[in-house]
Amino acid sequence: MATQADDVKREEQITQALSQVEAHASQLKSGDPEARQKLIASARELVTAAETPVETLLWNIWALPTRTTALRIAVDLKIFETAVADNGSPKTNEQLAAPTGASPTLVKRVARACASMKMLDEQAPGVYAANSLTQLLAQPEYAAGIIFTFDMTQVPFANLPTYLKNNKFQNPENGVDGPFQYAHKHEGHAFHFLTAHPEIFQAFHGYVHALRTHRPSWTEMYPVQERLVQGLKTEGDASALIDLGGGVGQTLQDFTKAVPEYNGRLVLQELPEVIGAATAMGVGADNRIELQAYDFFTPQPIKGARAYFMRSVLHDWPDELCRKILANIKDAMEPGYSKILISDCVLADQGASWQHLSLDLYMMAQASSQERTEKEWHKLIESCGLKIAGIYNKGDGNEGLIEVVCE
């Protein structure tokens, strides 16, 4: 039970948090480009200060798990798609249930949960209208994010405490015998699970690309002209920018638009099944992007390339396997010319962003891997006889760009 001293302390915290909200709101109105993110953070601090510890506890153990489940069911019920139909006119429970033949009572229970998350607007009892977030979730690539994150992760997360307890709370570091395999009763890496489940595989690639369009591109952080275009050898392998583990090629496609003056080769290296998916999608049809089946745990076939790019690759693997990937690249590099470009999270040592911390536990459950701090990146890179030439960031919670060289 709260004491008078607790109440006084909470009032002081609320006053302090409120002043931060007001200050950041004023900065936003004045045109400060960084003020919006600061305002979000200070608003969260205000909620935390205003809540009692029990309210905070119940929010985390009641609200958050049920919200994720409600969203996943809403996608299957086509609630968001139906809500935006007919120019987003208000819909009753019965109208939302019609496309799938679902029980209107079930739809009511799910829709009102979505409304509590502001995914829908509740205009009257049992009547809902679309808002801007509904419009977003009605698009397949954003609904795919819900499908992927639920279908791929919820089982491992649910089993993670038991897995860790059974393994005497040791840090997971085996990508083929870890929490994911324990939970899904699956042999092999999580990527093999993805390719064996086409719906989740497609959801993953669609969602990841859509999400990245809302975050700074690596070409916005990194001095591409100075570090890649200038001094580029335009013949053969030396001209190549290689995207290792680049999915179905979205990053290279974006690169051609962002840096059209780069006239070297662009090569997508992926596992055969992913290359097959990229080919089916028409990637490489114009011959600008070359598709090459390749396993980055084997020797790199393209020697002396300008850059070996990896986006969200090394965070999929524990240090031991990252060293094997990096060693294969190092053996192919031309010292003083070739670069390794790593687009991944760089965690702050203290007060890291919630996006980075959430993703760290996500990677533990899915791949027995991790996100890394700047110190951990230096330790990993230098253990391979390589050197970090620079780390570039833009915005809190986004991926950074790490330039690695071989001297």
Q: Are residues 80 and 11 in the same domain?
A: yes
Q: How many CB atoms lie within 10 A of CB 313?
A: 18
Q: Which of 8-17, 204-213, 295-304 has the lowest mean pLDDT?
A: 204-213
Whether residue 402 is predicted with pLDDT greater than 70 in this model: the reply is: yes
Q: How many alpha carbons lie under 13 Å from residue 279 in its C-beta half-sphere?
A: 12
What is the per-residue pLDDT across 76-98, written as a single tens digit (0 to 9) for each?
999 999 999 999 999 999 999 99
Share of the chain above pLDDT 70, in %: 100
Q: Are residues 356 and 245 in the same domain?
A: yes
Domain boundary among the residues 137, 160, 178 is at: 137
CA dihedral 69, 71, 74, 75 (to 10 degrees): -110
* Average pLDDT for 387-401: 92
Whether residue 132 is predicted with pLDDT greater than 80 in this model: the reply is: yes
Domain boundary among the residues 122, 137, 152 is at: 137
Q: Are residues 132 and 147 in the same domain?
A: no
Q: Are residues 260 and 307 in the same domain?
A: yes
Active site residue 315: yes
Q: Which residues of 18-29 are buried (b: 16+ CB within 10 A; e: fewer)?
A: bebbeebbebbe
What is the per-residue pLDDT across 155-197, written as a single tens digit (0 to 9) for each?
999 999 999 999 999 999 998 999 999 999 888 888 888 888 8
Strands 346-347 and 372-373, sheet pairing: parallel
* Average pLDDT for 372-390: 97
Q: Are residues 238 and 263 in the same domain?
A: yes
**How confident is the model at residue 50, as a pLDDT?**
93
Q: Are residues 115 and 163 in the same domain?
A: no
**How confident is the model at residue 125, as a pLDDT?**
94
What range defines the domain where residue 98 resides?
A: 4-137
| pTM (global) more than 0.75 | yes
Share of the chain above pLDDT 90, in %: 77
**Do 244 and 309 touch, CB atoms closer than 8 A?**
yes
* Average pLDDT for 30-34: 90
Q: Which of 137-141, 186-190, 334-338 has the lowest mean pLDDT?
A: 186-190
Q: Are residues 197 and 305 in the same domain?
A: no
Q: Are residues 300 and 330 in the same domain?
A: yes
What is the per-residue pLDDT across 340-354, written as a single tens digit (0 to 9) for each?
999 999 999 998 999
* Average pLDDT for 49-54: 92
348 contacts: CB under 8 Å, gap ≥ 6 = 356, 373
How far apart CA 195 and CA 388 sit, in angstroms, is 33
**How confident is the model at residue 254, as a pLDDT?**
92
Residue type, 200: I
Residue 208 pLDDT class (50, 70, 90 cuts): confident
Q: Which of 4-8, 375-379, 381-385 has the lowest mean pLDDT?
A: 4-8
Residue 1 pLDDT class (50, 70, 90 cuts): low
Candidates 24, 189, 205, 315; catalytic one: 315
- What CATH code is carried by the domain that includes residue 42? 1.10.10.10
Strands 266-270 and 241-244, sheet pairing: parallel
- When divided into structural domains, the chain yields a total of 3
**How confident is the model at residue 2, as a pLDDT?**
63
How far apart CA 74 and CA 12 sit, in angstroms, is 41
Q: Are residues 320 and 346 in the same domain?
A: yes
Q: Are residues 233 and 303 in the same domain?
A: yes
Q: Are residues 222 and 196 in the same domain?
A: no
Domain boundary among the residues 210, 228, 249 is at: 210
**How confident is the model at residue 304, as a pLDDT?**
97
Tokens of 78: 């086509």
Q: Are residues 173 and 290 in the same domain?
A: no
What is the per-residue pLDDT across 212-261, written as a single tens digit (0 to 9) for each?
778 889 999 999 999 999 999 988 999 999 999 998 899 999 999 999 99
What is the per-residue pLDDT across 273-297, written as a single tens digit (0 to 9) for each?
889 989 998 998 898 999 999 999 9
